[in-house]
């Protein structure tokens, strides 16, 4: 049975990264995001078909996340060299182009395993998205089949709901009131 992650401290990680400009390599650790919100998302493989639609959509919305004091980190089991090549491949050739956040390499698959998204028999991750608060608590997770992309708008909505500090009813949107319990 899978272990619950929401409401607990997010599993720690350190991974090598390819920068969003496709020019450099670096490292990312959970501790690098202390004091900020983090959207950590896993995708199956570089140079696939659904993945670039999600990654570029998140990159286009990066300024909206930054306004909410939130960083984004993408993760797959591919190497930093593959990430760099994909970033440097033109969009019309199934590439990503410049991104506003890094892509991390989970070559050992340990981070995908720790977050419960690794498909062991295939050696790739499911589409998992996690929102981690500034204290490192995992507040939200959504995992879906690899055939279906995620929603940037829903991720922003949930992030804003979490940041509202109150109880948010079904279909809550920014500007809506939180529930008042008497």
**Domain residue limits, the chain:** 8-164
What is the pTM (predicted TM-score) of this model?
0.95
- E strands along 52-137, which residues? 70-76, 103-105, 118-119, 124-125, 127-132
Q: What is the pLDDT of residue 181?
A: 86
CATH architecture of 8-164: 3-Layer(aba) Sandwich (3.40)
- Both tokens assigned to 8: 């607990």
Q: Which is catalytic among the residues 28, 51, 103, 124?
A: 51
The tens digit of pLDDT for each residue in 48-57 reads 999 999 999 9
Q: Are 62 and 100 in contact (CB under 8 A)?
A: yes
Q: What is the pLDDT of residue 1?
A: 54
Q: Say whether 168 is catalytic.
A: no
């Amino acid at each position: 049975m899978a272990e619950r992650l929401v409401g607990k401290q997010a599993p720690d990680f350190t991974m090598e990264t390819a920068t969003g400009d496709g020019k450099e390599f670096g490292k990312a650790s959970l501790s690098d995001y202390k004091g900020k919100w983090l959207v950590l998302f896993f995708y199956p493989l570089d140079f696939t078909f659904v993945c670039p639609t999600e990654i570029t959509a998140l990159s286009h919305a990066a300024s909206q996340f930054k306004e909410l004091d939130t960083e984004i980190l993408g993760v797959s089991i591919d190497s930093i060299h593959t990430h760099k090549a994909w970033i440097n491949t033109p969009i019309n050739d199934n590439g990503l182009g410049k991104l506003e956040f890094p892509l991390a390499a989970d070559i050992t698959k340990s981070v995908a395993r720790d977050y419960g998204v690794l498909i062991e028999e295939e050696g790739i991750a499911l589409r998992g998205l996690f929102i981690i608060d500034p204290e490192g608590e995992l507040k939200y997770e959504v995992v879906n089949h690899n055939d279906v992309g995620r929603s940037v708008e829903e991720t922003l909505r949930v992030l804003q709901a979490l940041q509202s500090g109150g109880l948010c009813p079904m279909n809550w949107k920014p500007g809506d009131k939180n529930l008042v319990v008497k």
